[in-house]
Chains A and B, each alone.
Chain A
Amino acid sequence: MTLKQFILPIMLMLCHTLLAQQDTIMQLKEVVISDTQLRNFSATQSVQRLNDSVINTNASSLTSLLNYNTVIYFKENGLGMVSSPSFRGTTAQQTAVIWNGININSQLLGQTDFNTLNTRDFDAVSVRAGGGSVIYGSSAIGGSIHLNSELDYADAFTNELRINYGSFSTQGLHYKTAISTDKFSASVSVTRNSSDNDYDYIGQEGKNINGQYYNNSINAVAGYKFSSKNRLVLYSYLFDGERHFSLIFPSEIRTKYRDSNMRNMLEWVGDYGKFTSKLKAAFLQEEYRYFANIAYQEFTFGRVQSIIGKYDLLFKPNEKFKINTVLDFTQNKGNGSDIINKTRHIGAASLLISHELGSRFMYEAGLRKEITNNYESPVLFSLGTKYQFAPFYTLKLNTSKNFRIPTFNDLYWQEGGNAELKPESSWQVEMGNVFTVKDVMFSVTGYYIKIKDMLRWVPTGGLWRPINTDRVETYGAEALFSYSKTLGVHAVSLNATYGYTVSKNETTGNQLIYVPYHKATASLSYSIKKFSAYYQFLYNGEVFTRSDNNSRYNIDAYTTGNAGVEYNFGNANSYKLGAQLLNAWNADYVSVDSRYMPGRNFNIYITLKFK
C-alpha cells in the first residue's frame, strides 16, 4: 500500500464532514443476548444498532431495513427477488450474517439472500462495520449483520399484533408474545408476508410478471435460570418461503425458488463471578429447491446440515480487563442434485482480549486459527485501540486479517467445482472518529482493505469453474450522523449515513461492477403527542455494469423516498394505525440492469401492543 492510498481515506473524511450523516447507534441495553462479543469486543469498530422502532417503520425484508438505514449497497433483482449486499465495496460473500452469534451465511452460496430474513422476528439488528473473522469466521470482511433476540428476566407478559396491507396485494401478519418471570423468559414471534408483486413499470409498457412471493417464519426463544449461576437458553428460527423469479422478457421460462431454513441453538451459560462459561450446540439446516420451469414438478436442490459446538470462556478479573477464549467445531454435511455429497469439518480456536487503561484508553486484540482438511486456512488476527481525546471526541483504530472460505458449490459443484481453491483473504485497516455533543453523534471512518485470491466463476467452454483470480483494493469513508431531541410533547430525530467507496480490481485498475462511489440515506421523524410522521431518503450513485467501466452501460444514480404517518389510539396499551407512501416521488429506477422497481405505492398497518 502506498502512502497516497492510505492518506486518501483520511483526506476524504475531512472533506465530507459537512455532508449529512447518520447513526442509529443507541446505548446497548443491558439485556441478555447470546452474541456477547458484539458488546465486549467491538469497541474499536463502528456498530450501528437498529432497534425495534426502526424495524417497525421499515418493510419487513432485511434488504429494505438496511438499504434505507445504513451505508450498505444492495443489488436487488426487482422487489423481493434475490438481494445481495456490498458492504465497503466488497462482494456479497464478504458480508457475514450472524444470528444470535452464529454465522448463518449459506454454506452453498457463501452469502445470505437479504430477502430471506424477516426483520420483525428480531429485537435488534446491528451492523458491525469492518473485519470480524477472528470472532465470526468466514465472510466478515466488509462487515457483519447481527440479528439478535433479547431476553429480559422480569415479570411481564406482552402481546403484539401487526397487520399490514398495501399495493400489489402485499400483506403482512406478525404476532409476538413474550412471557417472563425472574427465572423464566420466553418469546415466540410468527410472521407471514406475501405479495402478488405485479407492479406496473413506470414510463413504459409492461409490468412485473412472475414476481409473486410468500414467506413464513417463526422465531422462538426460551431461557430458564435453573440456579442463580446457571441458565439454559434455546433459540430457534424457522423460515420457509417461495418466490417466483420475475421476468425481464415476458416469453422467458417461468421459474421459482423455495428456501427452507432452520436454525436451532441450545446454550448453557454459567456465571461464576470472574468467569462466564458458555457451552453452545447448534443445528442448522438450509435447503433450496429451484424449479427451472414452474410447469413441471421437477426441481434441483441443495441442502447443508451443520452441527456447531462451541465453548466460550470469558475471564473478567475486573471491569477493565476481559479475556475470552472460544473453541469451536463445525461439521457441514452437504448434498444436492448438483454437488458431490461431502462432509467437512472445521475446528477453530480463538483468543480475544480487551483492556482498558485509565478512563480514556483501551485496546483489544484477537487471534484465530482454523484447522480443516479442505483448504489452507490462514492465521487471522485483529488489533484495535480507542482513545478519548476529549469528552466530545474519540479516535478508534483497528486492523485485521479476515477471510472467506470456499463454499460447497465452489468446491463440489458438478460439473465445475474446484477442490483446489484457497480462501479469499483480506488485510484491512480503519480509523474512526466519533464526535458526541449533547444530542448529536457524528462519526467518520476511513478504511482500506486489500483482498487477494478472490473467487470468480469463469466459463471454460461450456463449463463454468471457480478460480482464485483477482486481487482487489478497496478504500473509502463512511459517515454516520444522528440527532434526537425531545422538547415537551415534541420529539424530533434525524439520522443520516453517507458512504464513499472505491473498489478496484488491481490488475485492471477498474472499479468493480455494482459498487457505487456514493450512497447516502437519511431519515427524519417528528412526533407530537400521539401523532408521528417520518420521511426516509435514499440516494444510490451510478454503478458500472461492465468490468471495463464502459460508462455507456452504467446504471443511473437514483433517489427515492418514503413518507409515513402514524397515530396511537391507545393509552396504557399502544394501538397504532399507520400509513406509508413508498417511492413517494414515483422514481423510475433499477438497482440491477432491466430489473425495474415499483413506482409510488401504498401501505397501511395497524400495530396493537398489550401489556
Chain B
Amino acid sequence: MNLKKCLLALVAGSVFFVSCSSDDDNNSAEPTGAYKDGTFILNEGNSAPSTASITFLGDNGNVENDIYTSVNPGKPGLGTYLQDLFFGDDKAFIISGSANKVTVVNRYTFEYIATIDTNLENPRFGAVVNGKAYITNYADYRVGTDDFLTVINLTDYSTSKVALNNWSEKIIEENGKLYISNGYYGDGTSITVFNPSTNATESVIELGASPESFEEEDGILYVLGSGKLSRINLATNQVSGSITLPEAFTYSAQNLSIEDNKLYFTSSTSVYSMPLNSVTIPTTPLLTYTSTSQYGAMYGFSVNDGKIYIADGGDFSSDSKIYTYSLTGTLLNSYTVGVGPNGFYFND
C-alpha cells in the first residue's frame, strides 16, 4: 500500500486499522481489516439510492448494516439494484445495475478505491482472472446478440469490450478459464467457455435448457436449468450427463450450491440436497422456511462452511431478513439486513 492511500485512509477518518508497514510490498502479510472474517450480504434495494446497501455478518455472529456508507462517508454512492459482488486479490467489486457502474473497495477494510463506469451497459456478474476483471453485460435486455464482456485492467482500471453474441448472465472462473451461463428469463440455452489468454470464446456448450445457476467441483460444471440438471466435463467441454427434473421443479428449481460433496438447490421456500454424484432428484425437502414475503422468497441462497444461508426479499421497500441453518436443516439464527437481500459473498 502506498503512502497516498495511507493518507487517504487516515484523512477519511476511518476507525479501522490500516497496515502501512514497509513489508507490505512483498504481499505476504496477513490481511487485516474489520471485514476480514465473515460474509457480505448484498441488499439490492429499489430505485431509491438509500435502499441499496451491504451488510457484513462476521464469523463471530455480529451484524453490521450499510458498511459501505459508514466506512466511506463523502465517497461516491454505490448506486442501486446491486447486482453482484465479486473478489479479486485484496479487492471486492460491487456492480450496480441502475448506476451502470462498478465500485472497487478493499475487501478487508471496505475502503473505497475506485469507480469504473466505462464500457458498461446493464452489467450483471463478474469474475477476476490474471489481473483482469470480466463483467457480463445485457446491453439491451431484450436482445441476446448484443451482450458483451467488459474487460477491466486492474492496474489502472482501464476497460475494453469483447462481444459475446449470446445471452450472458452469470460468470465464474475456473483454472484460468471463464464460464458464462447463457440464459436469462428463459432465453438462451448454453454455456460459453471464454479463454482470457486469447480474449475470445473457446467453445459454446449447448444444454437444451436455459441455465439458472451453476458451480464447478472437481473438473465438473454442474448446471441447474429449466427442467434439467446438467454435468459438463471441463476437460472435454462436453455434457457428460443430464437429469430431467421432476415436473414440480421444471421452472422453480434454482440456486444450485455445492458443499462437501453435496448438491443443494431450492424450490419455492424449500431447500433440497442430494449427493453430488446422485442421479435421483430428491422430492422431500431438507428444510422449508416460512416467508412473509409473497414473492421474494428465497431471494438469495448459498451453502458455505457447514451452514445454509437464506435471504428473504421481503417487500422490497423495507429492511428484510436472512436466516442461517445447519446442514441438517435446523435454524441457527436470523438477522435483519437491508432492502431486498439477494446474495451471500464469503470473505475467506
Q: B-contacting residues of A (Cβ < 8 Å)?
A: 248-253, 292-293, 296, 298, 415, 458-463, 465, 467, 469, 513, 545-548, 550, 553, 592-594
Would you call B48 and A459 a contact (CB within 8 A)? no
Please, how many angstroms separate the alpha-carbon atoms of A63 and B274 in the complex?
A: 58
Would you call A553 and B122 a contact (CB within 8 A)? no
Would you call A545 and B295 a contact (CB within 8 A)? no
Please, how many angstroms separate the alpha-carbon atoms of A347 and B240 in the complex?
A: 61
Contact among A250, A292, A459 with B316 in the assembled complex (CB-CB below 8 Å):
A459
A296-B48 CB under 8 A given contacts A251-B99, A251-B100 = no
B201 within 8 A of A: no
Q: B residues 313-348 with Cβ under 8 Å of A?
A: 313, 315-319, 339
B289 within 8 A of A: no
B121 within 8 A of A: yes
Would you call B121 and A253 a contact (CB within 8 A)? yes
Would you call B48 and A249 a contact (CB within 8 A)? no
A462-B184 CB under 8 A given contacts A252-B99, A513-B317, A594-B48 = yes
Closest 6 CB pairs of A and B: A548-B318, A251-B117, A593-B48, A249-B99, A547-B317, A251-B101
* B-side contacts of A592, CB under 8 Å: 48
Would you call B50 and A248 a contact (CB within 8 A)? no
B206 within 8 A of A: no
Please, how many angstroms separate the alpha-carbon atoms of A469 and B51 in the complex?
A: 23
Q: Which residue of A lies closest to B50 (CB)?
A: A553
B269 within 8 A of A: no
Would you call A248 and B294 a contact (CB within 8 A)? no
> Given known contacts A248-B49, A293-B140, A593-B49, what 15 new A-B pairs fall within 8 Å (CB)?
A248-B99, A249-B96, A251-B99, A251-B100, A253-B121, A296-B140, A458-B295, A459-B295, A459-B296, A459-B313, A546-B51, A547-B315, A548-B317, A592-B48, A594-B50
B196 within 8 A of A: no
Would you call B295 and A249 a contact (CB within 8 A)? no
B39 within 8 A of A: no
Would you call A253 and B100 a contact (CB within 8 A)? yes
* A-side contacts of B294, CB under 8 Å: 458, 467, 469
CB distance from A252 to the nearest CB of B (A): 5
Q: Which residue of B lies closest to A510 (CB)?
A: B318
Would you call B99 and A546 a contact (CB within 8 A)? no
- A-B pairs with beta carbons under 8 Å apart, 5 shown: A249-B96, A252-B79, A293-B140, A553-B51, A592-B48
* B-side contacts of A550, CB under 8 Å: 318-319
CB distance from A222 to the nearest CB of B (A): 44
CB distance from B236 to the nearest CB of A (A): 32
Would you call A547 and B101 a contact (CB within 8 A)? no
Please, how many angstroms separate the alpha-carbon atoms of A460 and B50 in the complex?
A: 23
Would you call B100 and A594 a contact (CB within 8 A)? no
* A-side contacts of B122, CB under 8 Å: 253
Please, how many angstroms separate the alpha-carbon atoms of A467 and B294 in the complex?
A: 10
Would you call B316 and A249 a contact (CB within 8 A)? no
Would you call B315 and A249 a contact (CB within 8 A)? no
Chain A CB within 10 Å — which of B100, B115, B315, B318 has the most? B318
Would you call A594 and B49 a contact (CB within 8 A)? yes
CB distance from A245 to the nearest CB of B (A): 11
* A-side contacts of B80, CB under 8 Å: 248
Would you call A465 and B140 a contact (CB within 8 A)? no
Contact among B51, B98, B319 with A252 in the assembled complex (CB-CB below 8 Å):
B98
B77 within 8 A of A: yes
CB distance from A547 to the nearest CB of B (A): 4
* A-side contacts of B319, CB under 8 Å: 546, 548, 550
CB distance from A62 to the nearest CB of B (A): 23
CB distance from B99 to the nearest CB of A (A): 4
* B-side contacts of A458, CB under 8 Å: 294-296, 315-316
* A-side contacts of B99, CB under 8 Å: 248-249, 251-252
* B-side contacts of A461, CB under 8 Å: 254, 295
* A-side contacts of B254, CB under 8 Å: 461
CB distance from A278 to the nearest CB of B (A): 44
Q: Which residue of B lies closest to A549 (CB)?
A: B318
Please, how many angstroms separate the alpha-carbon atoms of A98 and B290 in the complex?
A: 46
Please, how many angstroms separate the alpha-carbon atoms of A460 and B299 in the complex?
A: 10
Please, how many angstroms separate the alpha-carbon atoms of A251 and B98 in the complex?
A: 9
A292-B295 CB under 8 A given contacts A251-B117, A513-B317 = no
* A-side contacts of B76, CB under 8 Å: 249
Please, how many angstroms separate the alpha-carbon atoms of A545 and B50 in the complex?
A: 9
Please, how many angstroms separate the alpha-carbon atoms of A550 and B317 in the complex?
A: 10
Contact among B121, B313, B315, B317 with A293 in the assembled complex (CB-CB below 8 Å):
B121
Please, how many angstroms separate the alpha-carbon atoms of A600 and B295 in the complex?
A: 44
Contact among A296, A298, A415, A546 with B317 in the assembled complex (CB-CB below 8 Å):
A546
Chain B CB within 10 Å — which of A251, A253, A458, A465 has the most? A251
* A-side contacts of B140, CB under 8 Å: 292-293, 296, 298
Q: Which residue of A lies closest to B298 (CB)?
A: A461
Would you call A465 and B98 a contact (CB within 8 A)? no
Please, how many angstroms separate the alpha-carbon atoms of A467 and B295 in the complex?
A: 11
Would you call B317 and A249 a contact (CB within 8 A)? no
Please, how many angstroms separate the alpha-carbon atoms of A263 and B96 in the complex?
A: 41
CB distance from A172 to the nearest CB of B (A): 30
CB distance from A413 to the nearest CB of B (A): 14
Please, how many angstroms separate the alpha-carbon atoms of A459 and B314 in the complex?
A: 10
Would you call B185 and A547 a contact (CB within 8 A)? no
A593-B98 CB under 8 A given contacts A459-B295, A459-B313 = no
CB distance from B335 to the nearest CB of A (A): 16
Contact among A250, A415, A460, A545 with B48 in the assembled complex (CB-CB below 8 Å):
A545
A462-B49 CB under 8 A given contacts A249-B98, A252-B98 = no
Please, how many angstroms separate the alpha-carbon atoms of A546 and B320 in the complex?
A: 11
Q: B residues 84-99 with Cβ under 8 Å of A?
A: 96, 98-99
Q: Which residue of A lies closest to B185 (CB)?
A: A462
Q: B residues 104-149 with Cβ under 8 Å of A?
A: 115, 117, 120-122, 140-141
Q: Which residue of B lies closest to A547 (CB)?
A: B317
Please, how many angstroms separate the alpha-carbon atoms of A504 and B276 in the complex?
A: 50
Would you call A249 and B50 a contact (CB within 8 A)? no
Q: Which residue of B lies closest to A554 (CB)?
A: B50
Contact among A460, A553, A593 with B295 in the assembled complex (CB-CB below 8 Å):
A460
Q: Which residue of A lies closest to B318 (CB)?
A: A548
Q: Which residue of B lies closest to A594 (CB)?
A: B49
Q: Which residue of A lies closest to B146 (CB)?
A: A296
Q: Which residue of B lies closest to A250 (CB)?
A: B117
CB distance from A455 to the nearest CB of B (A): 13
Chain B CB within 10 Å — which of A249, A296, A458, A593 has the most? A249
* B-side contacts of A465, CB under 8 Å: 295
Would you call A249 and B318 a contact (CB within 8 A)? no
A249-B77 CB under 8 A given contacts A293-B121, A459-B296, A547-B317 = yes
Please, how many angstroms separate the alpha-carbon atoms of A548 and B295 in the complex?
A: 17
* B-side contacts of A594, CB under 8 Å: 48-50
Please, how many angstroms separate the alpha-carbon atoms of A513 and B254 in the complex?
A: 32
Q: Which residue of B lies closest to A337 (CB)?
A: B142
Please, how many angstroms separate the alpha-carbon atoms of A513 and B140 in the complex?
A: 32
Contact with A along B28-49 (1 / 0, CB 8 A): 0000000000000000000011
CB distance from B195 to the nearest CB of A (A): 29
